[in-house]
Structure 1
Amino acid sequence: MADSPKLLFIDSYDSFSQNIVALLSDSIQADIEIIQNDDERFITEHGSIRHDHFRIFLQSFDAIVAGPGPGNPTKSADVGLITALWDLPHQSLLPVLGICLGFQSLGFHFGANVRRLTHPRHGIIQNVAHTKEDIFKGVENVQATQYHSLHVDLGCTNSTWIPLETCPSLLPLAWILDDAENGAILMALKHMKKPFWGVQYHPESICTNPEGGKIISNWWWEAKAWNESNRRRRIDSPMSFSPLEQPAPDIPDDLGEGSLLLPLSIPVNGKPSTFHISSSAYSKSLDQCGWTVQTACQALEASDRELIVLESSNTKVLTGKYSIIGLILDDTIRIHYFAASHMLQIRDGQDHTIFECVVDDAWAYFREFMKNIQVSIVDAGAVPFSGGLMGFISYEAGLDTIGITPSSSPDGQPPSDIAFAFVTRSVVFDHTQKRIVVQSIGAEDEDWVRKTSALLSSMDSDTASPSFMTPAPTVSVQYSPDPKEYCDKVKSCQEEIRAGNSYELCLTDRQILEFDGSCSNDNLPWTLYKQGAFHNPAPFSAYIRLGPLDRGFNILSFSPEKFLSWNREGTCEMRPIKGTLKKTTSDGRRLTCADAEDFFQSPKERAENLMIVDLIRHDLHGALGAGNVEVTKLMGVEEYETVYQLVSVIEGKFKQRTMMAEAVSSSPTDTRPLLAIPSRRLREESLQPRTQRAASGVDVLACSLPPGSMTGAPKKRSCELLQSIEGNQPRGIYSGVLGYMDVGGGGAFSVVIRSAYRWDGDAARWHIGAGGAVTTLSGPEDEYAEMVAKREAALLMFKAIKR
């Protein structure tokens, strides 16, 4: 047998699978191939398994891991190919380790029953008693994370360490014995004659202790010994089982087979003009001198036109050190994507479509776009944004990345699911250094940088002090969730969890407000934003206005949650928030940070956060591979203006793509094409394993959508369930992300929560979303109260400020 084992991992669409693959890679240095349990190469169109083909395919592996997933092992659609493993003839046998769903399938196939637990165990950590033999040899005290609603029932009321008459071929290896609610729960077993093992708990979870993870290397030793004693060696398959080919993207005929780039000529003021960007950023730094983001916007006369502002206005946390003002010009390019039709559009400064095509993978376009417009950043200590794409990605665009068809959009939902503007002029506030950086990557734009710096240096910041609307306009509620209906949805979520279809579901709903006609709509969004920032300062506030007045949109967000950031050196970070406590109780008592620490010790709060941490680790491992993901902060309490929140931090490292040589030229300007069109050659490259292609920030972004803190786990099945429970109502911008991708190689996005958005085609209606994570430990009325509390934080922007 070769020194490096080759394993097959059968994935049942779980959101922790990549963590198991990383553990296998780290523990036994294995080469691992991943297939889905419904791989079309081995299942007919009628759903039956092609056993002969599958067995030939298995010959090329040393062992198999049948992974976890949603569903019930008694349903063939939920386990798929896993069921074929247990009936392999002797000459085709090879070692198998079943984890969670795979474990339950093993037990069920050999005579055990699979039943619901009285109280499901999701994100719960318990001690595991074991035999200290076989895969537990040399293993001490195991503290293991559980994610299961179902359990394997051998037919006994208490734990046993010997086979039972009901399941004579199954030998118990581990139990949980101290669960007062469920009684003894089987945690591991092995087949008496065949090389099959299984564990119910999740050895890969961040909260399973190292002893619990030792079973992986122990299993491999047992598997290797079985292979050697049975003289089994893997052999190359005589049949071709290469991954299913994907169709090449449609490429306009005039581009040609090998074309990669589409050059754009942008009309400005009715005249054609080739778009130029500089090969390096022009910038000038000056003292902040009392300027705020809002007063600077008004001094630059930017607040009454298209504008993107990413503002950090919470000094209690250090996650948002910078604020960015992205200025939208007459020649600013915009990129729009429509998830339902897969249509990608490039629009000019007047919002006219100048190119469009149906794409198979929108993220391949964004990856190549950012690769081909990188700009040399001379100052190593420069601010993280020099120019690039700024905008949003809707929740429905995130569904598109995981193969879920988005719900159809009724009136009032976004006309596009992704919208970015290519920003060349920006003003960045460095709040820690108390400085402002005025910068441009536009060709020959040094004069604007000098003039704008002079303006901000000479003008009195007090002359641009913000003004607020007094009194407040009349607002009517067009829609608000009914308390009983929302509680019923919580119960529906809990039933799906108890059935084993999800571990956690992030339920949401929306409120729709409409203004009367007495207020001017021209300045209303900016005024509302200022009011929201005053009432609810947040580290990831955002104001976006894009598009002409009759077909544009506004987004106002006061998010406490960073979704993803990556720097120019190749380190990315995600900061999921799961767990919220209002700082003021119903009787008016102010809670301290110590009170919050005590509150967040509850199993429910910690389980919610843990599930999302493990899900995000899975997302990052999928993009970056084993050994490149680390949890640097696990369930820490952070203080915000109106709430305390439970926050974790997960970091990853990737090798940034080498900057294109032509991006750093001796010429001060480049005529740079702005849209990368993947050719068939590029498409073939994108299908290669990630280990053969250096990951980029765009890869990590695409792999992580939609935000796990807004879905639940496993992500795909949970999103499908939520679509149905939420009445197929699109979430739109809410639950999506917004931020930037920098020409220097970095990027940052926040989760769109505590937000309101409006589309010009939807009259004067504003949409406010809110929700929370539902587990079996949730109280429906408590979940409704939490949703209302989060919604109230967004509604603060609609209250008038009396000065």
Structure 2
Amino acid sequence: MSPPVLPRTLILDYYDSYTNNLLCLFTQLYNDVEVLQKVVVIKADKYNWLEFQEQVLPNIDCIILSPGPGRPDNPSDIGYALELLRSHPMPILGVCLGHQAIGVAFGAKIINTPKITHGHVVPISPVSPKIGLFDSPFWHSSGIENEFEVVVYNSLTVDPSTIPTELEVTAWSVSNSDRPSTVQGLRHRQYPIWGVQYHPESISSTRGAALLQSFLLNVNQHYSSPSSFPPLHSHIVSSCAYRVSVASRSRPSTRPSSALPTPPVTPSPSRTPSRIGQRRGTLRLLEKRLGDVGKQLRTQDVFESLVGGALGSKKGKERAIAEVWLDGQTPTRSTTTSLATPQFLITYSLATKKVTLHRSGRTTSHIVLSETTFWDWFSAGSQTLTAALSDSPAEGWRGGWVGYFGYEMKTESLQGYKRPLRGDRQEEEVDACWGWVDRLTERTSAGEWVVRGVTQDTAGLPFTNTDDEGEDIPMIDWLRSHGVAFGTTSEEWQEYVQLVGTALNNPFTSSKKPASSFPTFRPNATGADYRERIDACREAIRQGESYELTLTTRFSASSPDLDPYSLYLRLRSFNPAYYSTYFNFPTLTTPRGKGLSILSSSPERFLKIDKSRRVEMMPIKGTRARGKKVDEQIGEELRTDHKERAENLMIVDLIRSDLLSCCTPSTVSVPKLIALESYGVHNLVTTVQGTLAENVGSVECVRRCYPPGSMTGAPKLRSVQMLDDFEGEKRRGIYSGCLGYISVDGVSDLSVVIRTIVAEGENLSIGAGGAITWLSDRDKEWEEVLTKVGSVVGKLEENQ
């Protein structure tokens, strides 16, 4: 049976983290081009009610009211949806919050659901005989079973005793001894209005596409079944929160998405700027594989020989501006190791919006981004460098950027985030730090050493501009004005290859030993304080403000004689992980001390982009300590635990929605759902993938998905805002952010900064937390936090 003709559909998004997943239901029925021409997601506060009536309603055919946090009887949560429903100008489908709004608009009351459940699969049964969307040829052909399984995310529900006569129930949840039946479907008896309480778009819901087909069939019938509907008007498309393109051969635009702190619109693909065209071919990627040379050497010895001394500079007389060891220590997954010394660093402080250029042996230079965000500035510059390549992308880190985004960079990435910065707003933090690397040494998973570089393909500085019509690229132009060159000369490349060969052919045995012990870390919050915050999170969830909140805290230590490198050597042996990393920035200063080092044993991938522009995210939710005698049993108990699986599923649906903001909709998939992986602890891990849209570059992709959903909860925006309060307005800093590389060709691999020691001067910290849901046990959650920290640094100081 062919799907109905696709009408112009507007999805009104109440800042929910699952809204974009509705697009997946459309792409099960229609191709991407048609969906992107006819379906648009617009934030609910993009227009006021008058503007919406005048500018939007005449140019669309139907509306879907999205899920969202809060209550439908609270005007600040629901906006003008009640007025829209009462005016019933066209067919409307409400999902979760939108469904509850249908009840409120016509006189029903909202109550707490008898059994609060988020991320759980429950059986649903349409009323008999079937009515509304459950009585269509598309629904009947989707399955013969009366009951079907869906995912619910709700603390609130429509009170069935208050449903007015003009509404009727179309479906109920199936009750059992533990869970009473609740209203799961509504329709208006006279107007083309339908709603479902459950989430048909969830990865674990069934018959979602059939429900959408039923709705679109009714839309077609409302308009007397036309042969086609026109495409969306351009001004409505331009109001889309995040627009992606398909079937475009152009490179991602270097134009910034907006000069606003929380940009509402990312432009559709534009022509590649003419300046970029002249820049193409100015950079090349070189590689020299060294075969069996040095295979017998320890990576630690080679790191110290090449990086840990002063060998990152040309003459070996200046200390490197930074030391980078992307280590990758894991017994279960093969990985590579990369060693490098950046040629320069750029850092960013949110408090002052100041970018600083750091180079070895030179004074720093500054620029204030008064009219743009760091994300846009950095993204446009990075895309310019990618456009300058004469080579096609290749797997792995080929040179380019390496560094981190701190958690507070959410201030500029999250749409709708309006809170001021926490703490002393004039203190300059290093909220982002990225180093440019044009020479590096990699060790493959097979043990072979490979030298890689980014070289200049033409004489002199790249990117000479002779095209008056070309657009400025502020990052590139500013760095050029300070004499920065991208790419090595051929002489520098040959010198580096010789340096690596010398190091591998003349074995160096390190005298450095791992630290004999970790400093004793103490919790900044007592167990009692943390438990009270858990109670506050659960109350917010009960009130419908969130489905899940990733509450965190910090543990601190001090070490006057700190040697961060020897401490990292201990960490990499004590808790090896896929994203083990050592960053040392000896010249950087934070409010807590001079010298910044990051010692990470993170097992969690945030985001990876391969050479075919496939994006992969691997959220971790669900943790158990390992045991010597019953380790396998502990892992299996975790894998089958309903609460832990629900935590993971909530973040999986969030991440699918994140990827749909930057990927071609039909490509977003979940090849591995809630799988057990065991490192220092047992974890539940899911893999989510998609293919990056042609108009979205690597940095922009990171921005659209930032901060990592596993560190926020869902819905992301509302959860982050509440966590600011629950965590006492304290900065998370580098913890909860991401680190790794963004290769010059766009290939990227970033980890979530968890299980990581941050050293600032003599002060050390490690962050930890967990996902709080309605089913959370305050004592077990605190125990989980201690387990995570203990897996990294061992025994903790006793807390009160």
Q: TM-score range by the shorter chain?
A: 0.7 to 0.9
Distance of aligned partners of 1:645 and 1:476 in 2 relative to their CA distance in 1, 3 Å threshold: closer
CA contact under 8 A between 1:506 and 1:712: conserved in structure 2? Answer: yes
How many angstroms apart in 1 are the aligned matches of 2:360 and 2:648?
43
Note if contact 1:18-1:621 (Cα within 8 Å) is conserved in structure 2: yes
Query: CA separation in 2, counterparts of 1:17 and 1:281?
Result: 43
Is 2:688 the partner of 1:650?
Answer: yes
Preserved contact between residue 478 and residue 514 of structure 1 (Cα < 8 Å): no
Q: For 1:5, what is the secondary structure of its paired residue?
A: coil
Q: Deviations over 1:366-401 (max 9, x none)?
A: 222222223758698x66111111001000013431
C-alpha separation between the residues in 1 aligned to 2:237 and 2:365?
A: 42
Which one of 571, 574, 578 corresponds to residue 532 of structure 1? 571
The equivalent residue for 2:793 is: 795
Distance 1:797 1:652 in 2: 41
Task: Check the 8 A contact 1:758/1:765 in 2, yes or no.
Answer: yes
Distance 1:479 1:399 in 2: 26
Alignment correspondent of 1:284: 289
The equivalent position to 2:513 in structure 1, one of 467, 471, 486, is 467
Q: Which amino acid aligns with 2:96?
A: C
Query: What is the match of residue 270 of structure 1?
Result: none
Alignment of 1:750-765 (within 5 A): 750-760=751-761, 764-765=762-763
Q: Cα offset for 1:233?
A: 8.7
Within the candidate set 300, 304, 314, 2:330 is matched to 314
Q: Distance in 2 between matches of 1:624 and 1:10?
A: 20
Separation in 2, partners of 1:233, 1:548? 61
Question: Does the 8 Å contact 1:339/1:406 carry over to 2?
Answer: no
Q: Bigger shift: 309-318 or 225-234?
A: 225-234
Letter matched to residue 188 of structure 1: G
Report deviation, 1:411.
11
Please show how residues 511-550 of structure 1 align to structure 2 within 5 Å: 511-515=555-559, 517=560, 519=561, 521=562, 524-548=563-587
C-alpha deviation, 1:592, in angstroms: 3.2
The CA deviation at 1:34 is 2.3
Evaluate the alpha carbon distance shift between residue 126 and residue 143 of structure 1 in structure 2; reply closer, same or farther with a 3 A threshold. Answer: same
Structure 1 range deviating more: 355-364 or 6-15: 355-364
Letter in structure 1 aligned against 2:623: T
Aligned residue for 1:325, secondary structure, equals strand
Superposition map of 1:115-194 within 5 A: 115-131=111-127, 132-137=130-135, 138=140, 139-140=142-143, 141-155=147-161, 166-194=163-191
Distance, in Å, in 2 between the alignment partners of 1:230 and 1:180 is: 48
8 A Cα contact 1:309 1:544, kept in partner: yes
| 1:161-560 equivalence runs, <5 A | 166-209=163-206, 211-228=207-224, 243=239, 279-287=284-292, 288-302=294-308, 306-318=322-334, 321-328=335-342, 332-350=343-361, 352-358=363-369, 359-374=371-386, 384-402=396-414, 403-404=416-417, 405=419, 407-409=421-423, 415-431=429-445, 433-441=446-454, 442-444=488-490, 445-460=492-507, 463-464=509-510, 466-470=512-516, 472=517, 475=519, 480-515=524-559, 517=560, 519=561, 521=562, 524-548=563-587, 551-560=594-603
1:539 and 1:559 in contact (8 A); partners too: yes
Q: CA 1:7–1:365 in structure 2 vs 1: closer, same or farther (change >3 Å)? A: same
Q: Which residue of 2 aligns with 1:273?
A: none
Aligned counterparts of 2:240 and 2:170: Cα–Cα separation in 1: 39
- CA–CA separation in structure 1 for the residues paired with 2:640 and 2:431: 38
- The offset of 1:597, in angstroms, is 2.1
CA distance in 1, matches of 2:161, 2:260: 54
| 1:720 aligned residue | 721
Shift of 1:196: 0.3
C-alpha distance 495-295 of structure 1, shift in aligned 2 (>3 A) = same
Aligned to 2:484: none
Secondary structure at 1:300 match in 2: helix
Alpha-carbon distance between aligned partners in 2 of 1:758 and 1:557, rounded to the nearest angstrom:
11
Cα distance in 2, alignment partners of residues 541 and 718 from structure 1: 29
The match for 2:43 is 36
Q: Report the Cα offset of residue 753 of structure 1.
A: 0.6
Q: Secondary structure at the match of 1:19?
A: helix
Q: Give the superposition deviation at 1:184.
A: 1.0
Return the alpha-carbon distance in structure 1 between the equivalents of residues 389 and 236 of structure 2: 45
Bigger Cα displacement from structure 2, 506-515 vs 117-126: 117-126
Moved more, 291-300 or 278-287: 278-287
- Distance change >3 Å, CA 555–CA 261, structure 1 → 2: farther
Q: 1:511 to 1:303 in 2, by over 3 A?
A: farther
Instruction: Give the Cα–Cα distance (whole angstroms) in 1 for the partners of residues 233 and 703 of structure 2.
Output: 33
Residue type at the aligned position of 1:649: T
Could you say what secondary structure the match of 2:291 adopts? Answer: strand
The residue that corresponds to 1:106 in the other structure is 102
Q: Deviations over 1:507-557 (max 9, x none)?
A: 000011112x4x3x4xx0000000000111111011111242764311111
Over 3 Å counting, the alpha-carbon distance change for 1:617 and 1:232 in structure 2 is closer
Q: Distance in 2 between matches of 1:791 and 1:128?
A: 41
1:407 offset after TM fit, Å? 3.6
- Kept in 1, the 8 Å contact 2:302–2:504? The answer is no
Structure 1 residue 67: deviation in Å?
0.5
Counterpart residue type for residue 392 of structure 1:
Y
SS in 1 for 2:530: helix
The CA deviation at 1:406 is 5.7
Contact 2:622 2:638 in 1 (8 A): no
1:345 maps to amino acid: T
Decide whether aligned partners of structure 1 residues 241 and 593 sit closer, same or farther in structure 2, where only a CA change above 3 A counts.
closer
Query: Among the aligned pairs, what percent are the same residue?
Result: 28
Specify the alignment match of 1:271 in structure 2.
Answer: none
Secondary structure of residue in 1 paired with 2:87: coil
Shift of 1:768: 1.0
Contact 1:314 1:538 in 2 (8 A): yes
How far apart in 1 are the matches of 2:616 and 2:99? Answer: 33
Specify every segment of 5 or more residues in structure 2 that has no aligned partner in the other structure, as ranges: 242-256, 262-271, 311-319, 455-487
Aligned length: 697
Q: Kindly indicate whether the alpha-carbon contact (under 8 Å) linking 1:440 and 1:449 is maintained by their aligned counterparts in 2.
A: no
Deviations 1:744-771 (A, max 9, x none): 32011001111111223xxx11111100
Q: Distance in 2 between matches of 1:410 and 1:554?
A: 23
Task: With the length of structure 1 as denominator, give the TM-score of the two structures.
Answer: 0.81
Task: Note closer, same or farther for the CA distance 1:417–1:498 as it changes in structure 2 (3 Å cut).
Answer: same
Q: Equivalents in 1 of 2:785, 2:330: separation in Å? A: 22
Residue equivalent to 2:675: 636
CA contact (8 A) 1:64 1:97 kept: yes
Return the letter of the residue paired with 1:292. R
Given that 2:669 and 2:689 are in contact with CA atoms closer than 8 Å, whether structure 1 keeps it comes out as yes
Distance change in 2, residues 1:527/1:409 (3 Å) = farther
* Pairwise CA distance, 1:259: 11
- When the two chains are superposed, the root-mean-square deviation of aligned CA atoms in Å is 3.2
Distance apart, 1:261 and its partner CA:
8.5
What is the alpha-carbon distance in structure 1 between the residues aligned to residue 583 and residue 346 of structure 2? 15
SS at match of 1:619: helix
1:260–1:594 distance in 2 versus 1, CA, 3 Å:
farther
From the superposition, tell whether residues 351 and 778 of structure 1 become closer, same or farther in structure 2 (CA, over 3 Å). Answer: farther
Shift of 1:695: 2.0
Counterpart amino acid of 2:502? L
Name the CA shift for 1:734/1:168 in 2 (closer, same or farther; >3 Å): same
Paired with 2:193 and 2:771, the residues of 1 have a C-alpha distance of: 36
- Cα distance change on mapping 1:650 and 1:788 into 2, 3 Å: same
Q: Which amino acid aligns with 2:19?
A: S
Q: Relative to 1, partners in 2 of residues 1:414 and 1:208: Cα closer, same or farther, differing over 3 Å?
A: farther
